[in-house]
Amino acid sequence: MIEKRGIGVFPGVVTGHAAVFRHTILDNVEHALTENPEIELSIFENAVKSVLAEIHKIKPHSKEESDMLGIYEAMLSDPDYLALIQDNIKDRRYTASWAVEAATEKYVSALIALGDSYFAERITDIRDAEVRLLSAIAGISSDVIVDKPSVIVADYLTPSELMQMDRSNVLGLMLDTGGLTSHVAILAHSEEIPAILGLGDISSIVEDDAVVAMDGKEGLVIIDPDEKTIRSFRARKGIATRTEKELREGATLPAETLDGHRIHLMCNIEGLEGLDGALSSGAEGIGLFRTEFLALQNFGDEENKARIYEEVARRMGDSGPVTFRTYDLGGDKMADGMTAEENPILGWRAVRFCMERKDIFRKQLISILRASAVSPSVRLMFPMISGSEELLEVLAFLDEVKAECRADGIPFDENMKIGTMIETPSAAITTDILADYVDFMSIGTNDLIQYTIAVDRGNERIAHLYRPLHPAVLRLMKYVVDEAKKKGVTVSICGEMAGNAEYAPLLVGLGFDELSMTAHSVLEVRKRIRTLNAESCVDFADNVLSLRDATSIERALKDYNGKA
């Protein structure tokens, strides 16, 4: 019996037989030259046609899957990628398979050089195209057949492989690689498949048809469990099932503490596909609509994005605010025309990019302004503001765009609320100044943490230093809340801290009245909030702010949650 832990990306307790898949084709590419580049070129072009035909046969189950298939089709039609492969064949006289591998490795190396977790996870998408091309060149099927109920164990799994499976037979996923924002994780959420990623070597130590047990919430895997462990996991499953039912039943209840303090819970989404989950979870609005993900899928089609913004506003109606964050491109999310930088996280990103590319920014602002005419719930928020001068420059440009809309007869809400993200220490420390110019603020804890303690959250070597409960981070958060409230400005959190139910007592105690997270996290956080006493949370937070180090704070929070 072997125990392993990874990243739990969707909860669920499962015991079953493993279906093991390992991708070995990449190791089998022969680095050989050809005397007939024309033949190899023909083989490659036929492979591209074959793979595109396979993709067109896949019937997506959801909007997420449809969008992903569109991304893969775009990748296999990318003129730069195809040209690089063709040049490898024609000029360097590589065989078709070696040409594909060499071109892919160049792309992958460029993403790795960015040193960011988001792009590291996009590598799987490129590998998907590569595996399918190499399989087609070799005449090998790239399908993953699951003909009986199984827990899928693999070195990695591409979204298209998962999409082609009979998912009624997929009990759960255990992968060597992947993280919370990978496409497979997104699909696992969409399909509600228990999944644990980042297990390292799980595919090499589990034998096909071996019995495995997994707890997706805890990220726990047991290989070849004994009878006692199997009984334990069955008990876990019963508890998890009852808990999920209770969470769903509680979706109509307010997130209110025992002493009557109301916390507003909202959702973070990237597109229309997130709305159903937000509404079914009882979320009181969209605290963060990440517009850059629509841009990455189709950078130039602004009219289509405008229609999506309007549809989101229309469907949310009066359920709560819909907060559109302007493009947070650059850094870890590169669009067409953007080039890699030596230090992208501190580079040309978000409003810095938008204010230099006003042609792009203007179109997006018009689209969001149009959506505000559909519903007065629409709000506009700017990311990565570093101080008042930057904010005022952006607000002046917004006024300019509004004037253009008036002149062109484009309707919009003249009273649309404007907000700013607080993601940098400079913004946090000048909250009292920034609050004079906005209606609301939202703390992006992911960036605020890494900028405050100088730790790249995507760098595995220093991941242990990424501490959300570092005293400096908590003191900044408390300062932001206090200064904003003095000016009558509301403050929310839209980073990962908001969606962790264990942090709820501390966040309530620090004074946050709005939290934004994933739909499933709304259910869990609501349940936790309804067990809390707000006054007790305030006392607890005051005590935490007096502690000297993250370890002491982590221990105090664990003790508080244990007593509750």
| pLDDT value, residue 333 | 43
- Asked if 418 and 380 touch (Cβ cutoff 8 Å), the reply is yes
Q: Buried b vs exposed e over 119-145: b needs ≥16 C-beta within 10 Å?
A: bbbbbbbbbbbbbbbbbbbbeeebebe
Please state, in angstroms and rounded to a whole number, the distance separating the CA atoms of residues 481 and 511: 6
Please state, in angstroms and rounded to a whole number, the distance separating the CA atoms of residues 107 and 124: 12
Supply the range of the domain harboring residue 529. 253-563
Q: Domain boundary residue among 224, 247, 270?
A: 247
Same domain, 163 and 199: yes
Is residue 25 predicted with pLDDT exceeding 70?
Answer: no
Q: Which one, of 519, 529, 523, lies nearest residue 286 by Cα?
A: 519
Active site residue 183: yes
Q: What angle do CA 453, 456, 458 make, to 5 degrees?
A: 145
Q: Which pairs count as long-range contacts for 357-365, CB under 8 Å and 24+ apart, including other chains?
A: 358/397, 360/327, 361/326, 361/327, 361/397, 362/397, 362/401, 362/404, 363/302, 364/291, 364/302, 364/305, 364/326, 364/327, 365/326, 365/397, 365/398, 365/401
Same domain, 193 and 269: no
Is residue 88 predicted with pLDDT exceeding 70?
Answer: yes
Active site residue 264: no
Same domain, 218 and 161: yes
- Asked if 267 and 312 touch (Cβ cutoff 8 Å), the reply is no
Q: Domain boundary residue among 247, 267, 302?
A: 247
- Asked if 186 and 520 touch (Cβ cutoff 8 Å), the reply is no
Same domain, 210 and 325: no
Residue with tokens 């999310």: 333
Question: pLDDT by residue (tens digit) across 59-72?
Answer: 766 656 666 677 67
Question: pLDDT by residue (tens digit) across 488-513?
Answer: 999 999 988 999 999 999 999 999 99
- Asked if 282 and 251 touch (Cβ cutoff 8 Å), the reply is yes
Torsion angles phi and psi, residue 289, rounded to 5: -105, 110
Same domain, 370 and 433: yes
Same domain, 410 and 342: yes
Same domain, 145 and 109: yes
3-state DSSP assignment of residue 107: helix
Structural domains of the chain, count: 2
Q: What is the CATH number of the domain that holds 8?
A: 3.50.30.10
300 vs 143, residue with greater confidence: 143
Indicate which residue of 354, 494, 520, 537 is catalytic: 494
Same domain, 222 and 269: no
Please state, in angstroms and rounded to a whole number, the distance separating the CA atoms of residues 267 and 440: 16
Beta bridge partners of 94: 33
Q: What is the CATH number of the domain that holds 376?
A: 3.20.20.60
Q: Domain boundary residue among 247, 262, 293?
A: 247
Residue type at 296 in one-letter notation: L
Same domain, 232 and 111: yes
Q: Which one, of 177, 211, 216, lies nearest residue 193 by Cα?
A: 216
| pLDDT value, residue 295 | 64
Same domain, 315 and 213: no
Question: pLDDT by residue (tens digit) across 188-237?
Answer: 876 789 999 999 899 999 999 999 999 998 899 999 999 999 898 888 88
Same domain, 232 and 261: no
| pLDDT value, residue 334 | 43
Indicate which residue of 183, 189, 470, 520 is catalytic: 183
Residues in the chain: 564
Tell me the average pLDDT across 103-119. 66
Same domain, 301 and 392: yes
Q: Which of 121-125, 141-145, 193-197, 243-247 has the highest mean pLDDT?
A: 193-197
User: Which tokens hold the place of 146?
Assistant: 């699951």
Residue type at 457 in one-letter notation: R
User: Which tokens hold the place of 202?
Assistant: 């799980």
Please state, in angstroms and rounded to a whole number, the distance separating the CA atoms of residues 562 and 564: 6
